């Protein structure tokens, strides 16, 4: 133990005791909390409030150490064996009790039982664990992921299996196109779903894992994404509010689309092409929402929340960091998977590109975009990420500038609707010049197909996500429109998904005629 560590004061992993308390429970519950979370140190001989080092009288030093060891051994279940050793700080002797994050969770006080005696560490305090947290600790101790458990009584249908395989294969094809992969990715089959523990073979067919249910239905009430736009910087006034259910990957698509519809979309000319640029990096938005679903605590009845304020995008997920993982470790790329099956499926369809890099990628994307440093907040039972909007754009908004969010679509069929009903009178893109002024560019009014054609005319490189944000409809809806237009021959795709472009039928014909003449 060093004086520098003591000067820093109590923290999530450090607690001071001036002397050995008469009631051992005053410190054994902290030992239990350390074992259930990220480990930590108890230092006897330091005053908490002043951090004054008073030390332990050497005449009773080993007697006190024996008392601590006996109290921990007698009080805690399963058994916890900490390191207990003396340490000299400024010529005084303190006792340092080091507790590692233990594997046989949950740990609790025998006298109180598991329900009333299981503690966890939150910030610099020791708190009683909730029933949901106790369930998670039990699964950690058993090396079981909640999403791989069988959902008892849930019926697996052939249509659900086929749809999941079809959706995964479509997304894998998009990965192949985006990365210009010459080697075709193998098709996902039900055999893969079995190997990945999404499905379990039984005598009568298949049993559904919790992951299968999450990926194919809205069966679990907690599996929702609440999205909202607020006026100002707090939650007092709603401007828009939606709730998305259904397969997790579709919820993620819808939530990303919701954010893009409600933040500013600028444009710049590169060569002869007009390219859109959102005020927040799409990669960071995507990472925040994917991480919230992938790493959330599934035994908590709360849902993922996505909130847009004048100054920030805020994404909150139930459950703190998992299984003793510290924030510093997470930021450095270490990973402990709370939902292993869901995480593997997300990896297979490209929603997760590399394990443990989520927080890093959000931070790097923000910095490269010229935004303030993102904020990562671990709270009791939740984890939150704040991505801050540029102050210049905030000032423009306050000065009366247009906001793409003010032209939000009100007829999103896949979400709960709040506010007045009505038809849209037009869609606008907001162009931000270098000086910060704005110019509204009207998009052609008419059917959804006509709007897609007009967007392609203005920007042949527009992505499905771009179109969703501009038109104010879901990603799934845009994809269905494009598929039908391609099938009917109205539009064509040239090049890869990432760097290619859309061509309208008459443009394709003119191009081919020109090539023939040459």
**Three-class SS state of 59:** coil
Q: Which of 75-79, 181-185, 421-425, 510-514 has the highest mean pLDDT?
A: 75-79
> Which pairs from 138-144 meet CB under 8 Å and 24+ separation?
138/105, 138/106, 140/105, 140/323, 141/103, 141/104, 141/105, 141/106
User: Which residues lie across from 503 on neighbouring strands?
Assistant: 492
**Tokens (6 digits) for 280:** 């927040």
Q: Please, are residues 199 and 207 in contact by the beta-carbon 8 Å criterion?
A: yes
Q: Please, are residues 249 and 391 in contact by the beta-carbon 8 Å criterion?
A: no
Q: Please, are residues 141 and 104 in contact by the beta-carbon 8 Å criterion?
A: yes
Quick one: 489 exposed, middle or buried, by C-beta within 10 A (0-12, 13-18, 19+)?
exposed
CA gap 130, 120 in Å, rounded: 9
Instruction: Express each pLDDT in 422-450 by its tens digit.
Output: 333 333 333 333 333 333 333 334 588 88
Assess whether pLDDT exceeds 60 at residue 416.
no
CA gap 98, 436 in Å, rounded: 56
* Amino acid 515: pLDDT: 36
CA gap 472, 463 in Å, rounded: 14
* Amino acid 482: pLDDT: 87
Q: What mean pLDDT do residues 452-479 have?
A: 81
> Which strand (E) or helix (H) includes residue 502?
strand 501-504
Show the beta-strand stretches assigned E in 298-456: 304-308, 312-318, 375-379, 382-388, 427-432, 438-443
Instruction: Express each pLDDT in 347-401 by its tens digit.
Output: 999 888 766 577 888 999 999 999 999 999 887 688 999 999 986 544 444 443 3
Nearest CA to 44 out of 86, 101, 99 is that of 86
Assess whether pLDDT exceeds 80 at residue 419.
no
Helices (H), 76-130: 113-117
Assess whether pLDDT exceeds 70 at residue 485.
yes
User: Which residues lie across from 455 on neighbouring strands?
Assistant: none
Distance of CA 90 to the CA centre of its chain: 45
Of residues 271 and 472, more confidently modeled: 472
- Does residue 78 have a cis peptide bond before it, meaning omega lies within 30 degrees of 0? yes
User: Which residues lie across from 304 on neighbouring strands?
Assistant: 225
Of residues 301 and 426, more confidently modeled: 301
CA gap 475, 259 in Å, rounded: 12
Assess whether pLDDT exceeds 70 at residue 503.
yes
What's the mean pLDDT when you consider all of the chain? 82
The DSSP code sequence of 231-283 is STTSSSSEEEEEEE-SSHHHHHHHHHHHHHHTS-EEEEEETTEEEEEESS-HH
pLDDT band at 270 (very low <50, low <70, confident <90, very high): low
pLDDT band at 268 (very low <50, low <70, confident <90, very high): low
pLDDT band at 421 (very low <50, low <70, confident <90, very high): very low
Name the percent of the chain lying above pLDDT 90: 53
> Which pairs from 216-223 meet CB under 8 Å and 24+ separation?
216/160, 216/163, 216/164, 216/247, 217/160, 217/246, 217/247, 218/245, 218/246, 219/151, 219/154, 220/298, 221/301, 222/298, 222/300, 222/301, 222/302, 222/303, 222/318, 223/248, 223/251, 223/303
Q: Which domains does the chain have, with CATH numbers?
A: 3-138 (3.30.950.30), 148-216 (no CATH), 225-406+417-443 (3.30.565.60), 444-518 (1.10.10.10)
Nearest CA to 415 out of 300, 243, 211 is that of 243
**Tokens (6 digits) for 299:** 């035994």
Task: Kindly compute the dihedral angle of the four CA atoms of residues 130, 42, 375, 295, in this order, to the nearest 10 degrees.
Answer: -40
Nearest CA to 77 out of 115, 40, 43, 44 is that of 115
Quick one: 290 exposed, middle or buried, by C-beta within 10 A (0-12, 13-18, 19+)?
buried
Q: What is the DSSP letter of 204?
A: T
Among 85-99, 182-196, 324-338, whose mean pLDDT is lowest? 324-338
Among 328-332, 377-381, 393-397, 472-476, whose mean pLDDT is lowest? 393-397
CA gap 24, 39 in Å, rounded: 19
* Amino acid 516: pLDDT: 34
| Cα end-to-end distance, the chain, whole Å | 81
Query: How many angstroms separate the Cα of 393 from the Cα of each of 128, 265, 266, 280, 418?
Result: 44, 11, 11, 11, 26
SS (H, E, C) 309-322: CCCEEEEEEECCCC
**Three-class SS state of 452:** helix
Of residues 155 and 405, more confidently modeled: 155
**Tokens (6 digits) for 208:** 């559904």
* Amino acid 452: pLDDT: 87
């Amino acid at each position: 133990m060093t004086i520098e560590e003591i000067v820093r004061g109590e923290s999530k992993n450090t607690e001071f005791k001036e002397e050995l308390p008469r009631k051992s429970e005053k410190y054994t519950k902290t030992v239990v909390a350390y074992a259930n979370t990220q480990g930590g140190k108890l230092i006897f001989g330091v005053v908490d409030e002043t951090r004054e080092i008073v030390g332990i009288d050497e005449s009773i030093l080993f007697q006190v150490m024996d008392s601590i060891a006996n109290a921990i051994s007698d009080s805690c279940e399963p058994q916890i064996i900490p390191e207990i050793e003396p340490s000299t700080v400024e010529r005084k002797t303190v006792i340092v009790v080091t507790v590692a994050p233990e594997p046989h969770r949950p740990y609790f006080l025998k006298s109180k039982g598991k329900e009333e005696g299981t503690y966890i560490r939150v910030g610099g305090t020791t708190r009683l664990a909730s029933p949901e947290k106790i369930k998670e600790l039990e699964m950690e101790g058993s090396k079981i992921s909640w999403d791989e458990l069988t959902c008892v009584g849930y019926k697996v249908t052939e249509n659900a299996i086929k749809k999941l395989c079809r959706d995964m294969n479509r997304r894998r094809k998009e990965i192949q196109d985006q990365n210009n992969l010459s080697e075709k990715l193998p098709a996902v089959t039900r055999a893969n779903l079995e190997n990945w523990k999404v499905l379990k073979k039984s005598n009568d067919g298949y049993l559904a894992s919790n992951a299968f249910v999450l990926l194919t239905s809205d069966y679990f009430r907690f599996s929702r994404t609440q999205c909202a736009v607020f006026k100002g910087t707090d939650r007092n006034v709603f401007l828009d509010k939606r709730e998305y259910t259904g397969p997790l990957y579709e919820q993620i698509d819808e939530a990303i689309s919701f954010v893009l519809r409600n933040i500013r979309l600028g444009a710049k000319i590169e060569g002869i092409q007009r390219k859109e640029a959102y005020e927040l990096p799409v990669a960071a938005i995507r990472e925040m929402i994917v991480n919230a679903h992938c790493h959330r605590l599934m035994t908590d009845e709360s849902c993922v929340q996505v909130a847009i304020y004048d100054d920030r995008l805020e994404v909150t997920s139930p459950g703190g960091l998992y299984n003793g993982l510290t924030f510093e470790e997470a930021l450095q790329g270490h990973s402990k998977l709370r939902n292993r099956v869901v995480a593997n499926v997300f990896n297979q369809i490209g929603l997760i590109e590399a394990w443990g890099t989520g927080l890093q990628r959000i931070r790097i994307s923000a910095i490269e975009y010229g935004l303030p440093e993102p904020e990562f907040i671990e709270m009791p039972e939740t984890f939150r990420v704040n991505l801050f909007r540029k102050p210049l754009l905030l000032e423009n908004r306050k000065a009366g500038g247009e906001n793409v969010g003010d032209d939000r679509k009100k007829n999103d069929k896949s979400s709960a609707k709040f506010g007045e009903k009505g038809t849209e009178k037009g869609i606008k893109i907001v162009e931000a010049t270098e000086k910060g002024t704005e110019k509204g560019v009207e998009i052609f009014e008419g059917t959804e197909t006509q709007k897609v054609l007009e967007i392609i005319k203005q920007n042949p490189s527009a992505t499905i996500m771009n179109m969703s944000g501009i038109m104010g409809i879901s990603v799934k809806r845009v994809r269905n429109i494009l598929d039908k237009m391609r099938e009917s021959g109205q539009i064509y795709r040239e090049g890869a998904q990432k760097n290619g472009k859309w061509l309208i039928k008459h443009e394709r014909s003119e191009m081919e005629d020109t090539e023939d003449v040459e």
